[in-house]
A = this chain, B = another copy of it.
Amino acid sequence: MSSTLGTLFKITTFGESHGMGVGVIVDGCPSGMALTEADIQPQLSRRRPGQSDLSTPRQEADQVIIYSGTEFGRTLGTPIMLLVHNKDQQPRDYGEMSRVPRPSHADYTYQMKYGIRASSGGGRASARETIGRVAAGAIAEKWLRATYGIEIVAWVSAVGDIEAQPLDVTRITRTEVDNHQVRCPDPAAAARMEALIGEVLAAKDSVGGILTCVCRQVPIGWGEPVFDKLEARLAQAMLSLPATKGFEIGSGFAGTRMRGSRHNDLFVFQEGRLGTATNFSGGIQGGISNGEPIVFRVAFKPVATIGQDQETVDFIGDPVTLAAKGRHDPCVAPRAVPIVEAMAALVLADMALRQSARQQVGS
């Protein structure tokens, strides 16, 4: 496995979905920052299952413990270990499930790669794995906000065929996003998305969606060409999330249909510095932030766990009808909002420190 991300602001996650718990070590967080569980819990609560009619009724409190790295509510500069115990932690031999790889899950590839896999749930391939990321991301985000005033806001911009109206990325807030269960701040679209998710749920099916994320007040100069360009590391971070199938920065795929004369972001002088009249670049040029809002989109597939029977084969190739079990989110997008925000924060915090290294104090 490769469970470590980052060069200077570095996280290492652990834990299986049905083991004792999940968590993360954050190594490299600057010292002296005020930090308690209260800084981390809100994003975990936005992520946890059972928080709305749109998601699985399984209840997990997902209470985080800061196990190391702080004292008297301040970071020591030492590794911060965050722990979230699982409530349901008994691995069971699921019988059919262990005999039949679930379509479009990781059962088959994990079994082939490792020769063994967690008997219950998805093990490390479960969405519970993202808990460590969200917890670590909350720390990164607090530090980015306190040090640079950075704001990160993600929202659901599409569910199935329903797309939200474009909105003002310079102003959108998490409060507006959370006004709707589906976490789409366009009220009309939100209503239609929620209706669609209800239909899909009733049909024992699932549907995909798209998240848009904006990072504001990112200083000019972050990103490390050529292989750690800012958008390259954001792309890696997003595609490392379960169920993601695509990433776009700025104009993205739609930009391929434009002419350069229209797509080029002409410079203008504003607020005492150079800005751009448009932002098709998505806040990044040559792999480096240019001071404009960083805007990207992430595609989430329809979740693979559905309530319908599926005609597939078992591990030895015999045909089998895989019967549905339990209940899962029909659309992962609303709960993915804090996860995408966390990954953005982790990438930015690492880039912040890497750029900071260039600027010697006292030199």
Contacts and interface: CB of A to CB of B under 8 A. Distances in A.
B235 A302 contact: no
Contact of A32 (B22, B116, B221, B281): B116
Contacts of A94: none
Interface in A250-307: 250-253, 255-261, 263-269, 273-274, 276, 280-282, 284-290, 297, 299-306
Contacts of A208: 255-258, 263
Nearest to A250: B245
A286 B79 contact: no
Given A116-B76, A207-B259, A312-B266, A360 B129 contact: no
A225 B241 CA distance: 10
Report how many copies the assembly holds: 4
Nearest to A33: B116
Interface string A198-220: 00100101111110000000001
B285 A251 contact: no
Contacts of A167: none
A104 interface: yes
A13 B226 contact: yes
B249 A68 contact: no
Contacts of A363: 147-148
A247 to B, nearest CB: 5
Contacts of A77: 1, 113-116, 358
Contacts of A2: 27, 224-228
Nearest to A19: B68
A359 B360 CA distance: 8
B76 A117 contact: yes
A63 interface: no
Contact of A286 (B27, B91, B125, B259): B125
B359 A353 contact: no
The 10 tightest CB contacts between A and B, nearest first, are A106-B286, A269-B317, A206-B260, A208-B256, A109-B288, A357-B357, A2-B228, A260-B302, A77-B114, A236-B236
Given A228-B240, A248-B299, 4 more contacts: A31-B116, A109-B287, A208-B255, A266-B312
